[in-house]
Amino acid sequence: MTANGIGFTDRYLSEAELASVIAEGVEALGLPGRRVLVIIPDGTRTMPLAQMSRLLEEQLAGRVKALDYLVALGTHMLMDDAALSRHFGRPVTGGRLGAGRVFNHRWMDADTFVRLGVIPAEEVRSLTDGLFAQEVPVRLNRLVLEYERILILGPVFPHEVVGFSGGNKYFFPGVAGPEIINFTHWLGAVLTNYRVIGSGYTPVRAVIDSAARMIPTPAGCFALVVTHEGVAGLYYGSPQEAWQSAAALSAHKHIVYVEKPYRRVISVMPRLYDDLWTGAKGMYKMEPVVADGGEVVIFAPHIGEVSYTHGKVLDEIGYHTRDYFLQQWERFKHHPWGVLAHSTHVKGLGTYDAATGIESPRIQVTLATGIPAARCERINLNYLDPAALYLEDWQNREAEGVLVVPRAGEMLYRLREGV
């Protein structure tokens, strides 16, 4: 199946255009008459879920046996009824949305998963260009096997682990077991955020697509390209094809090219991100345009926690460069690889001299958040009192090498080629 739909670099789609694409997609994907499970993002992703779910339900009302939703949490916090109600823009009570149900992906419960198979070591070697040669078990939320059709409904953005989000990423890591989550995230970390983010088809995407081929339930996808002004593109088809079309448009809409690197970048994080685990996108999306020896400041006074789900591990290992872990692998390999990956993405590129024990990050990362100074020191990140940071003192100073990025976390900044 090839992707269909519409997208523009210079305007946004009207509701009538969105409805038309959804109507076409519903028929092409064979949803009428089926039990349908829709996999959606959680509240850390920008998309008009209220509008899109309403338009989808208008097309399928009375035409399906079931229309339920599964939130692709990965390893994020569960969403309660209040959070889900805000997400959908209408009441969710006791996990029910009108006639349908809304499920959290309960990633912390072993009973959530069913084993689909294993990606063999030799295939992993081929997919990762020889970086790894180990079996990767593939486990997935068992709900995916209890419906007749799966529909992925979510946006596509530049992403630090996989290149561009969306598509089969809603399965892996969205509703997947820990083995493939940890493996793909560490693979992305070894490749580095600097190399991967916004880079199209990557070895991580190849592993995810390989795992997705084990899913027996037919799956389709509506892939959106979204900014805060509206929906620039909506594509439907197989998860791979819809993602490919959306990623091509995302590369135009979500990447800002600059002429020279900056010595200091202040990423102003919205309340969309409520811990550093999610708010660290203020580093991921800015790392490529920070000069050697420069600094990223994550400005988020509302963030008071490192990670609601992985904070204990991060307090133990801290934030370090990739080489810090690779050169001490026997010491760290028993920690969750996904958490190690997050650590390296936040710290960025750098080196580690095992003989001297000296770690040399390429840039500095400073937290101007509600996380106290003592904890910042413990986790190996710089601290700045957010009350002492006056954004107006730093704005409009690009010529001096200073950039303030409002609502950071979704737009990728990159140096123009040849600079």
Q: pLDDT tens, position by position, for the chain (419 residues)? A: 457 999 999 999 999 999 999 999 999 999 999 999 999 999 878 899 999 999 999 999 999 999 999 999 998 889 999 999 999 999 999 999 999 999 999 999 999 999 999 999 999 999 999 999 999 999 999 999 999 999 999 999 999 999 999 999 999 999 999 999 999 999 999 999 999 999 989 999 999 999 999 999 999 999 999 998 999 999 999 999 999 999 999 999 999 999 999 999 999 999 989 999 999 999 999 999 999 999 999 999 999 999 999 999 999 999 999 999 999 999 999 999 999 999 999 999 999 999 999 999 999 999 999 999 999 999 999 999 999 999 999 999 999 999 999 999 989 999 998 55
Same-domain check for residues 277 and 175 = no
Query: Which residue reads 């795992």 in tokens?
Result: 211
pLDDT (0 to 100) of residue 366 = 98
Same-domain check for residues 176 and 189 = yes
CATH number of the CATH domain containing 37: 3.40.50.11440
Find out whether 338 and 187 touch, Cβ atoms under 8 Å. Answer: no
pLDDT (0 to 100) of residue 44 = 79
Domain termination residue (choose one: 253, 281, 316) = 253
pLDDT (0 to 100) of residue 418 = 58
Euclidean distance between CA atoms 344 and 190, whole angstroms = 9
Q: CA end-to-end span of the chain, whole Å? A: 40
Q: How far is CA 194 from CA 174, 286, 297, 310, 345, in A?
A: 23, 10, 17, 23, 9
Strand partners, 266: 297, 404
Domain termination residue (choose one: 204, 233, 253) = 253
Domain termination residue (choose one: 207, 224, 253) = 253
CA 11 vs. chain centroid, Å, equals 25
Core vs surface per residue 34-51: b (16+ CB within 10 A) or e: bebbbbbbbbbbbbbbee
Pick left, alpha or beta for residue 394 (phi over 0 → left; psi -120 to 50 → alpha; otherwise beta): alpha
CATH number of the CATH domain containing 397: 3.90.226.30
Same-domain check for residues 178 and 293 = no
Task: Tokens for 296, please give them.
Answer: 């990223």
Same-domain check for residues 68 and 211 = yes
Same-domain check for residues 271 and 242 = no
Task: Tokens for 297, please give them.
Answer: 């400041």
Q: H helices of 254-317, where? A: 276-279, 281-284, 311-317
- Pick from 269, 267, 265: which is nearest to 290 by CA? 265
Same-domain check for residues 279 and 322 = yes
Q: How far is CA 290 from CA 54, 119, 195, 314, 353, in A?
A: 41, 37, 14, 25, 23
Find out whether 211 and 116 touch, Cβ atoms under 8 Å. Answer: yes
Please tell me the chain's helix, strand, coil percentages from 3-state DSSP, rounded to the nearest 5.
35, 25, 35
pLDDT (0 to 100) of residue 45 = 80
Same-domain check for residues 240 and 333 = no
pLDDT (0 to 100) of residue 1 = 47
Same-domain check for residues 290 and 213 = no
What is this structure's pTM?
Answer: 0.94
Q: Please state the domain count of the chain.
A: 2
Same-domain check for residues 217 and 366 = no
Same-domain check for residues 275 and 222 = no
Structural domain for 228, as ranges = 4-253
Strand partners, 256: 413
Same-domain check for residues 126 and 56 = yes
Same-domain check for residues 11 and 50 = yes
